[in-house]
Structure 1
Amino acid sequence: MPQPYQENNAVRKIIHVDMDAFYASVEQLDHPEWRGKPLVVGGNEARGVVAAASYEARKFGIHSAMSSALAAKKCPQLIFAKPRFDRYKEISLQIREIFYKYTDLVEPLSLDEAFLDVTENKMGLKSAILIARQIREKIKSKTGLNASAGISYNKFLAKTASDLNKPNGQAVILPEEAEAFLEKLPIGKFFGIGKVTAEKMQKLGIHSGKDLKEYSLQFLTKKFGKSGLHYFNIVRGIHLSEVQPHRVRKSLSAENTFEKDLISLKEMENQLYPIFEELMRRIEKIGIKGRTITLKLKYSDFTLQTRSKTLEQYPEKGMIWQIGLELLRQEEIPKPVRLLGLGISNLNITEEQEFLGSQLKIPFEE
C-alpha cells in the first residue's frame, strides 16, 4: 500500500464536516411546524429547481437539481421554502467559529461543509475521531443542527467517509483500511465521480474500486483524459491535496455534462442558456463580478478546449450571455460536445468576501 502523506513522522489527520440537509434543516429549525415534514428550498409547485431537500422529502425520491414541478408530483404535500441566504450565512459563521477553536487549517467548500487539518490542533488532542465528535456536539449545542463527519489521512477519503453514516454520524477510514475499503466501494460512491462518468465506467465493466484498480494509468488517461490520473490514484488511497485555508476564489462557473453528445450549434446554444442562468444565480448570491468570460467545451473524445474574452469593465448580465454566444460561435465546433461550461474570472473579490460568500448548490452532473 502507498504510504500516506507524513509530516514530522505524523500521519496527516483530516476531518470533513458536512451539515445534514443544511438549507432545509435551517428552515425546519426556524419553522417548528415544518419539522418532520417533506420540505424543499427553492422553486415552487409550477417552476424552478430544488436547491435542497429535507430527509423526509428524499424518501419520495426528491433531490437537489430536480425540477420543482417534478418534485411536487412525487410528493403532493411537499412544502416549498424560499431561500434565506442571510440566515444560512449567519449560521455558517457560527459553525466556522467552532472549527477555528480547534485549528486554523480550515478550508470551507461552501456554507455547509469544510475540510479541517487537525494533525496539530489547538486543543492538543491526538484523536481526530474525538475532535470530530466534539465539533459535531458543539454545532448541535450552538445551532440546533446536525452535522456528519468523515476522518482519514487525506481529503478524498475524509470526504468519502463523511457520507457513510449520514445523517448525524461519523466514520473513519484508517490508512491500513483504505485500499480494502476502496476496492469494495461502488464506483458511483467515489467523491468526484458523477453520474455520467459512473455510467461510462460501468459500460467498461468498472462497477467497484476493485474493478477500477485493474486498469492501467495509460488506459484510464486514454478513456478519461487528465482525470484518468486522478482515478488511478484515488482508488489506491493517494490524494496529496492539502487543506488550503483562506483560499480566495479565482473564478466562478457552472457546467453540465450531457447524456447524449451535442452535435449542432443550435443544440449547444439551447443547452448553454440554462448553464448561463445557473452562473447568474451563483454570481448574484455571492455578489461578485468578473472581467473575463470563459466558455468550456469538452468533446466526445474527452479533449478539452476553453475560449475566453477579457473586458476593460465588469460586464452586466446581458453582456455575459452575448459574449458566451460569441465565444461559442467564434469558430467551428470540430467534434460532438459532451460538456459545456460558462464562467467568469478576474474577479472583484476579497478574502473577506470569499469567507462570507455562498454558492447555491445546484449540482449539474460533474
Structure 2
Amino acid sequence: MKVIAALVVSGVLVVAGAVPATASDRARAAELVDRTARVVRVVDGDTVVVRDSTGEHRVRLLNIDTPESVDPASPVECLGPEASTFLSTRLPAGTTVKLVHDRIKHDRYGRELAAVYVGGAFVNGEIARAGLADALVIGGNDRFYDDVLAAQRSARAAKLGLYAESVPCTVPGQVAAFEQSAATLAGQPPAAGAGVEAFDAYAAQLTVAAATGAAVSAVLAADPRDHRLLGLNVGRIRTLSTRTAAAQAAVTVRVGETTTWRATEAARVAAEQAAAAQAEAERVAAAAQAEAARAVKAAARKRTPAAPAPAPAAPVAPAAPPVDSYTGCRAYGSGGTSLDDKGRRYTKIDCTTKAPLG
C-alpha cells in the first residue's frame, strides 16, 4: 500500500500521484489500449507482472489497496501475505488476463493502472470481496470504484478478512480479543481469603489489560488513512471505539475494586497474624509458668530432711516349752522339754530304763 497524498471526498478515499511522471510516460499512456496478456508473476496483493507482445509490464490493480507485504521500507501489514497468496492463487503464472483501463493509465512509479479480468470475472472485486482490499480512487480513476466498493461492503458485512474478529491482527480482531480478555478478567476475581499475592497477581493482569485497551483505542483514534484501519469506514471505527471504551470502563472498575479487595485481604491477614502471635505468646507464658512451678517444688524437696531409718527389730526369745502336769519319772536339766509347776525344766523319762519318753 503506497499512499503519496490522500484525502476523503464524500466518503471516497482519493489518492493523488497517479499522473504519469514523464513526457515519455504520458506518450506511452496515450497509446495504451485495453488488451490481453499473460501473467508472469504476482508481486503482492494488488500488483502483478504480465507479458504481451511488447514485453513485460507491471500492473497495479485499479481501485483496490491491499495490505503491504513486500515493500522493504514498510513492515508487513496484517493480512498482507494472505492478499498476495490470494492473488497468486487466482492468477498463477501463464494465466491469460484482460487489462481494462480508466482515464489515467500509469501512476508516478510507471506502473500500468488497470482492472484485471479472467474470463468474465473481475479480479479486483474478488480480492475486495474476500476482505483483503480497501476500495479507493487513485487520482481521478473511479471507473471500477463502485464495483469494488460493493464487494468490500459484502466482505465487511460477512466479517471476512480485514473485518474478521477471529483474525488476531485485524483491528476488529484486536477489539474482540480485548473485549474477551476484559470480560474474562472481570468475571474471575480472586475469592475472599485467597491471599494478598492472589490480588496482586490479579491487579497485574488488569494492568496488562488496561494497557492493551489503551493501545487498541489509540489505533482507532488514528488518522482513517492509517494502514491499520484499512477498509474500516468512519461508522465502523466509531462502533469499534465504543466497544473498546466499554471494555476499558469494565477494567477500570475492576482496578478500583481490586484495590479495595486487596486492602481488605491485607487487613484480614494482619489480624490472623496478630491472633497467631498472641496465641503463641500465651503458650510461651503458660509453659514458663509451669516450668517455674516445677522448679519451686524441686527446691522444696531439697529443703525437707530425710526421715530417720527404722530401729532394728529386737531378737525374739525362743518360745518357752509348754507347762505339763506329768507325774512320772523326770530328769531335770536346762535342756528339758517340759516345765514343772515351779517353772523348772525337765525331761520325761522311763522310770525303769531312764530313757527319755517321746
TM-score normalised per structure 1: 0.20
Query: Which has the larger Rg?
Result: 2
Q: Larger helix proportion, structure 1 or 2?
A: 2
